[in-house]
Amino acid sequence: MTGVTGHSAQARQAASDPYPRPRPRPPGVSGGPQGHTGPRRGAAHRAQVRPPSVRDKRAYVRLGPRGVLAVIGLGAAVVIALWWHSTPDVRGLGGWLTGAGEILGLLAGYGVVVLVALMARLPPLERGIGTDRLARWHAMGGRYVVSVVVAHGLLILWGYAVQAHTTVVSETAALLTQYPDVLMATVAGFLLLGVGIVSMRAARRRMSYETWYYLHLYTYLAIALAFSHQFAVGVSFINNLAARFWWSAMYLTVAVLVAWYRVAVPLRAFARHEFTVIGVKAEGPGVISVYIGGRHLDELAAEPGQFFRWRFLTRSLWWSSHPYSLSAAPGSDVMRITVKDLGDHSRSLARLRPGTRVIAEGPYGAFTAADSGRGVLLLAGGVGITPLRAIFATLPGPVTLIYRASSERDIVFRDELDAIAAARGGTVYYVVGSRAEIGGNPLSPRLLRRLVPGLDQHEAYVCGPPGMVAAAVGALRAAGVPRKRIHNESFEF
Ligand SMILES: Cc1cc2nc3c(=O)[nH]c(=O)nc-3n(C[C@H](O)[C@H](O)[C@H](O)COP(=O)(O)OP(=O)(O)OC[C@H]3O[C@@H](n4cnc5c(N)ncnc54)[C@H](O)[C@@H]3O)c2cc1C
């Protein structure tokens, strides 16, 4: 059904919405404040009926994206200063080529540490920057670092050859056989190049996420192999004990952080909270909810909108962890995720048995909502409804949810959303149908402005598949919402 429905709901809206605004509905839009269907019993009920309050944001010292980029840039400047300090003069073409190669080598050595730190699951970064943005920075930075590594090798070879009045080929042989640790570093360089190639979009699309992920782990081996050549042949380190100390401290610190946040913390949480599947419920075609019980879950301080990386300890699933958002605010002993079957992992969750143990890594993500005193628009596409469902139930103030789905069958949580809207005076619109059925852009700026009066004064939260998120952000910008008030999460790293 793609036509206008929900007239009786509109009548209820007048009674329950503090800002009643009866308006004609465009094709494909139904909803508005809905009837209360009553809460469900059991775990589902407990997960969905937390009081409508929002936790205060945790007192992290928040370094925004610009602050973090500034710190990274400052580190790069210090690295160049280190080279400057250790290089009294540069002479001739060979000297310039070698100098450029040395600077790039230092930047590459620093860059790999930054790349690993971005993925170390550091809470202030995860919370302040957001996992999806960190992953984008990591991917982009990875391309730069691999290019810098290749350029470093070529410039050093060329520079040494010019200085030694020999050919690049014989200089290559000399470097590999006579210079300490350079052979290992060369292997490391090729490993990094290989990881860079398999991470390119075209190559990545041809392999499963897990294959790519495990190949990607060779980066750690590459970093270890390349480490010692920096001290053995790097002019900035050979005679500078303090530089060697600080460089080693930088590598060691990041290694400890990775081990702590990616391994120790999840294992400690597993022991403390005893995460266990307590039930699976079908929500719609190809969509299920998994209820995960545990002890002291409030200590996790998970917020609506955040996600965990879930590792279900069955014979076929234990070796991979996947990100799924909380689809209801967590209770003290139960959490809920809702999953659409898009591949092997998501499909197999329907077969989970109660009692399955789970390692839950998180909470992660900066896609959380604070009470800004403004009206709030939540814009969900498909299974992107999951974090917004949790936010919708807890965010105080007037909240409008627009839920875009391809067909009525694809709408999940309809009863819950209507119940939340009725209980809280919120508004839900279902924008259902294909572009052809709706007769135009399903999320046009005009439609958004029509559904949400005063839209340009709202905070907007968008979640869904990457294409939908990009289109919705564009439409919101065109409708006058400033970029800084549009918060979005895409279900893809
Ligand atoms: C922050 C975040 C929150 C998410 N929340 C939800 C949710 O609440 N409900 C839901 O249904 N889906 C959610 N997803 C998407 C979900 O993680 C993927 O659909 C799922 O991992 C697909 O795995 P698969 O093996 O079933 O499919 P595959 O066919 O193997 O993968 C499909 C695509 O999913 C991505 N993907 C696969 N495995 C992983 C992984 N381990 N880590 C990261 N990305 C991966 C890749 O882009 C891949 O191309 C979320 C994704 C992210 C990034």
Atom of ligand 1 nearest to the CA of 347: 26
Chain centre distance of CA 309: 11
Which pTM value belongs to this model?
A: 0.84
Lowest mean pLDDT among 10-19, 108-117, 125-134: 10-19
- State the distance from the centre of ligand 1 to the C-alpha of 16, rounded, in angstroms: 37
Distances from the Cα of 235 to the Cα of 90, 101, 245, angstroms: 13, 11, 15
> How confident is the model over 160-182, as a mean pLDDT?
94
Atom of ligand 1 nearest to the CA of 387: 8
Site to substitute for ligand 1 among 132, 208, 303, 322, most atoms within 8 A of C-beta: 322
Which protein residue's CA is at the shortest distance from atom 3 of ligand 1? Answer: 324
When the pLDDT of each residue in the chain is averaged and rounded to a whole number, the result is 87
Say what the pLDDT of residue 425 is: 86
- State the distance from the centre of ligand 1 to the C-alpha of 328, rounded, in angstroms: 18
- State the distance from the centre of ligand 1 to the C-alpha of 386, rounded, in angstroms: 13
Which protein residue's CA is at the shortest distance from atom 15 of ligand 1? Answer: 491
Site to substitute for ligand 1 among 136, 199, 209, most atoms within 8 A of C-beta: 209
| Highest mean pLDDT out of 27-36, 415-424, 429-438 | 415-424
Ligand 1 shell residues, CB under 6 Å: 131, 208-209, 307, 320, 322-325, 337-340, 342-346, 365, 383, 386, 491-493
Lowest mean pLDDT among 151-155, 214-218, 341-345, 489-493: 489-493
> How confident is the model over 357-384, as a mean pLDDT?
91
Q: Reply yes or no on whether the pLDDT at 45 is more than 50.
A: no
Q: Reply yes or no on whether the pLDDT at 23 is more than 60.
A: no
Say what the pLDDT of residue 491 is: 85
Question: Per residue in 266-319, pLDDT tens?
Answer: 999 999 999 999 999 999 889 999 999 999 999 999 999 999 999 999 999 999
pLDDT band at residue 44 using 50, 70 and 90 as cut-offs: very low
Q: Which positions ≥6 away from 199 have C-beta within 8 Å? A: 139, 142, 212, 216
Say what the pLDDT of residue 32 is: 58
Which protein residue's CA is at the shortest distance from atom 24 of ligand 1? Answer: 343
pLDDT band at residue 99 using 50, 70 and 90 as cut-offs: very high
Question: Per residue in 322-331, pLDDT tens?
Answer: 999 999 999 8
Say what the pLDDT of residue 343 is: 86
Q: Reply yes or no on whether the pLDDT at 211 is more than 60.
A: yes
How many Cβ atoms sit within 10 Å of the Cβ of residue 14? Answer: 12
Backbone angles phi, psi at 353, to 5 degrees: -100, 145
What is the C-alpha to C-alpha distance for residues 167 and 14, in angstroms, rounded to an integer? 84
Distances from the Cα of 184 to the Cα of 45, 111, 273, angstroms: 58, 19, 43
Q: How many CA atoms lie within 13 A of 257 on its CB side?
A: 19
Say what the pLDDT of residue 15 is: 30
Atom of ligand 1 nearest to the CA of 348: 26
- State the distance from the centre of ligand 1 to the C-alpha of 9, rounded, in angstroms: 35
Quick one: tokens of 375? 């009206």
Q: Is residue 371 a contact partner of residue 54, using CB atoms and an 8 Å limit? A: yes
Site to substitute for ligand 1 among 320, 341, 345, 463, most atoms within 8 A of C-beta: 345
Say what the pLDDT of residue 62 is: 65
Say what the pLDDT of residue 167 is: 95
Question: Per residue in 149-166, pLDDT tens?
Answer: 999 999 999 999 999 999
What is the C-alpha to C-alpha distance for residues 72 and 458, in angstroms, rounded to an integer? 33
- Closest Cα partner for 105 from 71, 54, 46, 145? 145
Say what the pLDDT of residue 492 is: 79
What is the C-alpha to C-alpha distance for residues 213 and 322, in angstroms, rounded to an integer? 12
Three-state DSSP string of the chain = CCCCCCHHHHHHHHHHCCCCCCCCCCCCEEECCCCCCCCCCHHHHHHHCCCCCCCCCCCCCCCCHHHHHHHHHHHHHHHHHHHHHHCCCCCHHHHHHHHHHHHHHHHHHHHHHHHHHHCCCCHHHHHHCCHHHHHHHHHHHHHHHHHHHHHHHHHHHHHHHHHCCCCHHHHHHHHHHHCCCHHHHHHHHHHHHHHHHHCCHHHHCCCCHHHHHHHHCHHHHHHHHHHHHHHHHCHHHHCCHHHHHHHHHHHHHHHHHHHHHHHHHHHHHHHHHCCEEEEEEEEECCEEEEEEECCCHHHHCCCCCCEEEEEECCCCCCCCCEEEEECCCCCCCEEEEEEECCCHHHHHHHHCCCCCEEEEEEEECCCCCCCCCCCEEEEEEHHHHHHHHHHHHHCCCCEEEEEEECCHHHCCCHHHHHHHHHHHCCEEEEEECCHHHHCCCCCCHHHHHHHCCCHHHCEEEEEECHHHHHHHHHHHHHCCCCHHHEEEEECCC
- State the distance from the centre of ligand 1 to the C-alpha of 387, rounded, in angstroms: 14
Atom of ligand 1 nearest to the CA of 131: 1
Say what the pLDDT of residue 53 is: 40
Say what the pLDDT of residue 31 is: 66
Q: Is residue 187 a contact partner of residue 221, using CB atoms and an 8 Å limit? A: no
Q: Which tops the pLDDT comparison, 20 or 147?
A: 147
- State the distance from the centre of ligand 1 to the C-alpha of 305, rounded, in angstroms: 16
Lowest mean pLDDT among 6-10, 204-208, 256-260: 6-10
- State the distance from the centre of ligand 1 to the C-alpha of 209, rounded, in angstroms: 9
- State the distance from the centre of ligand 1 to the C-alpha of 492, rounded, in angstroms: 7
How many Cβ atoms sit within 10 Å of the Cβ of residue 294? Answer: 23
The amino acid that residue 271 corresponds to is: A
Atom of ligand 1 nearest to the CA of 493: 53
Q: How many CA atoms lie within 13 A of 466 on its CB side?
A: 5
- Closest Cα partner for 15 from 33, 36, 37, 39? 33
Which protein residue's CA is at the shortest distance from atom 34 of ligand 1? Answer: 492
Q: Is residue 433 a contact partner of residue 442, using CB atoms and an 8 Å limit? A: yes
- State the distance from the centre of ligand 1 to the C-alpha of 420, rounded, in angstroms: 27
- State the distance from the centre of ligand 1 to the C-alpha of 351, rounded, in angstroms: 17
Q: Reply yes or no on whether the pLDDT at 231 is more than 70.
A: yes
Say what the pLDDT of residue 253 is: 98
Q: Reply yes or no on whether the pLDDT at 6 is more than 50.
A: no
Atom of ligand 1 nearest to the CA of 321: 41
Say what the pLDDT of residue 49 is: 35
Lowest mean pLDDT among 9-23, 275-289, 389-403: 9-23
What is the C-alpha to C-alpha distance for residues 188 and 175, in angstroms, rounded to an integer? 15
- State the distance from the centre of ligand 1 to the C-alpha of 327, rounded, in angstroms: 15
What is the C-alpha to C-alpha distance for residues 396 and 301, in angstroms, rounded to an integer? 18
pLDDT band at residue 11 using 50, 70 and 90 as cut-offs: very low
> How confident is the model over 125-134, as a mean pLDDT?
89
- State the distance from the centre of ligand 1 to the C-alpha of 14, rounded, in angstroms: 40
